[in-house]
Structure 1
Amino acid sequence: MSDEWNLPESGEAKQSKEDVKSWKLLEKTLLAGVQEQRRSRRWGIFFKSLTFIYLFVALALFSPMLKLGKGAVDSTVSHTALVEVRGVIADKEAASADNIVGSLRAAFEDENTKGVILRINSPGGSPVQSGYIYDEIKRLRGEHPDVKLYAVISDIGASGAYYIASAADEIYADKASLVGSIGVTAASFGFVGLMDKLGVDRRVYTSGEHKAFLDPFQPQKPEETQFWQGVLDTTHQQFIDSVKKGRGDRLKVAENPDLFSGLVWSGEQALKLGLIDGLGSTSYVAREVIGEKELVDYTVQDSPLDRFAKKLGASVAEDLALWMGFQGPALR
């Protein structure tokens, strides 16, 4: 009976089993190689990350040696101080009140500063941040009456940026610069109609009758719209009063009743309207108006440590994602 159940295998069957064993062995070998490569790559990334962290800590410890003082300028000769207002005026941005005010203070307090130029290239931004800067310019001008401040608008000085410029002794711009936009805006979207079409109900629970009055998913109420318009009108009037205080009789309000309507003008038009005092660049104002062509930049800059930290943060995040296996598809 045992002989009947233990029949000898044919040559083809033996060959097939040997092929299967060979493929399994090859598969295990390949998988082991791939796993070893992955482990090696992950540990390599890990140690590179540790190296970056070590360098970061070392720079932090020796940062005083890198002259990281924001706005610090070593100048022992007479010069024109330069402070840049670039981009949107907002908290935590390059053109925040903290950065601009700190730069202006350093510029005015330097005994070798003959005049200050506030070079503006900004579409505006926060009325609060602009107001802080405006007030500080007025204070510094009163504290240092012998040091004049000139605003120079390059591409654009609109809305909150012009608010700031109006605090200067004089304003200059290029003939093609965009100047003005003395107004206030607040925009949103309304999705009520879309929700009705989709059959979606909005459920909002508040304590306070008007707590959700800006909710774009609910119908507007006339009394709330009127209230919000009052807020904007009040802010606009504050803007107008500040510009009038800064520019005084130079403004040609009678000739152009749209001066405070939010419109924007070219530098050439702005000169005729009294929004600016002359046409000229930064170097022109330094050389011809202030009388000191040597420019010293007091604008707050990222320190070497800050720049390194930003690059390091992006690099470490990418390496850690790779090390933890979070690598998605990429286009090559």
Structure 2
Amino acid sequence: MATFGDFPPEHKQDPQNTSLQNDQWERKILQDLAFAAIKEQRATRRWGYLFKFLVLLYFVAIFLMTRPFGESDLPSGPHTALVDVSGVIAPDMEASADRVVTGIREAFESPQAKALILRMNTPGGSPVQSGVINDEITRLRATRPDFPVYAVIQDVCASGGYYIAVAANEIYADKASIVGSIGVRMDSFGFTEAMDKLGVERRSLTAGDNKAFLDPFMPMKEKDVEHAHEMLNNIHQQFIDVVKTGRGDRLKDNAEIFSGLFWSGEQALALGLIDGLANSSTVAREVVGAEEIVDYTPRPSYLDRFAGSLGVKISETLLNSQYWNVR
């Protein structure tokens, strides 16, 4: 019979049981520490793998971005080379002399290229840049007479574009292409009356009687106009001579050809400005006899394209921000 102060038999502590519990507790702590160390090592390895992968991905991206856009291994078999002359012909543009000439030279150096197509789609541009390209084509043709050059016009080939095209052996276009504009122009504005109405005084200090030549804020001088016309006529005559040299007897006797007018491809054919109506694929297949076309046009790298696109976006953002601040 139990009395006050006594414990039931089940509440009495067993020394052996206590020792066993302590051993199990210590073992569990050691297991937890071991598992934690293993997990930490696995996590460290995973981060290491991820870091190495990111580094590899970075170098692959740099390699791809610095490669010229559209670059591919050139075929070993016969083909028709192609170089694009697209956009305004000017320095630092896609149709700059440096870029176009680089592609043309690579095409001429290729032993598997059977001919070169200049795919023209340009409104013209700098007479200097156009002249450099024309001269280089003429020089390269003399070094490899068996390598014909064909100019194939897409939408438009005017002014400086046609200056380049006449260096080719033959010129082709679509019946609706715009061809011609054999002339030279110089553009400016005059603000003298506006300045008088606004009460603005023009202050121009020069050293040299003609340093303020054709200043748009001053009345035109007859002497300046005569000199400008003389210079333009000189460049125009250079253009005419290049066209006559390139086209020869194929040109029709029509004074309007050199007046700065332009015509459709169908009209240009009748005037002798082009040799036929065809596109690049037709010329490669039926004229050259090498249907496969390989693009030799130097392209900007992915990095350059990304930088250019980023620059445009930043400019648009700044302009839009300024616009909304003004409003």
For the 8 Å contact 1:72–1:106, the answer to whether it is kept is no
* Offset, 1:307: 2.4
| CA displacement 1:206-249 (0-9 Å, x = unmatched) | 00001011210001111111001111000000000111111111
For the 8 Å contact 2:120–2:157, the answer to whether it is kept is yes
| CA displacement 1:128-184 (0-9 Å, x = unmatched) | 000000000101111111110000001100000000000000000011111000000
Report what 1:278 is aligned to: 276
Residue 151 of structure 1 aligns to a residue whose secondary structure is strand
Report what 2:31 is aligned to: none
* Offset, 1:316: 8.0
Determine the C-alpha separation between the residues in 1 that align with 2:187 and 2:80. Answer: 40
Determine the C-alpha separation between the residues in 1 that align with 2:112 and 2:195. Answer: 64
Which residue, out of 295, 302, 326, partners 1:297?
A: 295
Give me the CA root mean square deviation. 2.7
* Offset, 1:306: 1.9
Residue 81 of structure 1 aligns to a residue whose secondary structure is strand
Report what 1:46 is aligned to: none
Report what 1:29 is aligned to: none
Which residue, out of 261, 264, 267, partners 1:266?
A: 264
C-alpha spacing 1:246/1:72, structure 2 compared with 1 (3 Å): farther
Counterpart mapping for 1:56-71 below 5 A: 62-63=62-63, 67-68=67-68
Report what 1:109 is aligned to: 109
* Paired positions, count: 269
User: Unpaired runs of 5+ in structure 1?
Assistant: 1-53
Counterpart mapping for 1:1-332 below 5 A: 62-63=62-63, 67-68=67-68, 73-252=73-252, 254=253, 256-311=254-309, 329=324
For the 8 Å contact 2:64–2:302, the answer to whether it is kept is no
* Offset, 1:73: 4.7
C-alpha spacing 1:226/1:286, structure 2 compared with 1 (3 Å): same
Determine the C-alpha separation between the residues in 2 that align with 1:316 and 1:221. Answer: 43
For the 8 Å contact 2:180–2:262, the answer to whether it is kept is yes
Determine the C-alpha separation between the residues in 2 that align with 1:288 and 1:108. Answer: 20
Query: More relative contact order in 1 or in 2 (CA 8 Å, sep 6+)?
Result: 1
The AA in structure 2 aligned to 1:184 is V
For the 8 Å contact 1:60–1:305, the answer to whether it is kept is no
The AA in structure 2 aligned to 1:217 is F
* Offset, 1:65: 9.4
Higher Cα Rg, which structure: 2
Determine the C-alpha separation between the residues in 1 that align with 2:238 and 2:138. Answer: 16
Residue 232 of structure 1 aligns to a residue whose secondary structure is helix
For the 8 Å contact 1:63–1:305, the answer to whether it is kept is no
* Offset, 1:304: 2.1
Determine the C-alpha separation between the residues in 1 that align with 2:274 and 2:323. Answer: 53
Determine the C-alpha separation between the residues in 2 that align with 1:170 and 1:212. Answer: 44
The AA in structure 1 aligned to 2:85 is V
For the 8 Å contact 1:172–1:278, the answer to whether it is kept is yes
C-alpha spacing 1:249/1:71, structure 2 compared with 1 (3 Å): farther
C-alpha spacing 1:64/1:267, structure 2 compared with 1 (3 Å): closer
The AA in structure 2 aligned to 1:176 is A
TM-score under structure 1 length normalisation: 0.75
For the 8 Å contact 1:141–1:147, the answer to whether it is kept is yes
Residue 119 of structure 2 aligns to a residue whose secondary structure is strand
C-alpha spacing 1:216/1:79, structure 2 compared with 1 (3 Å): same
C-alpha spacing 1:328/1:87, structure 2 compared with 1 (3 Å): closer
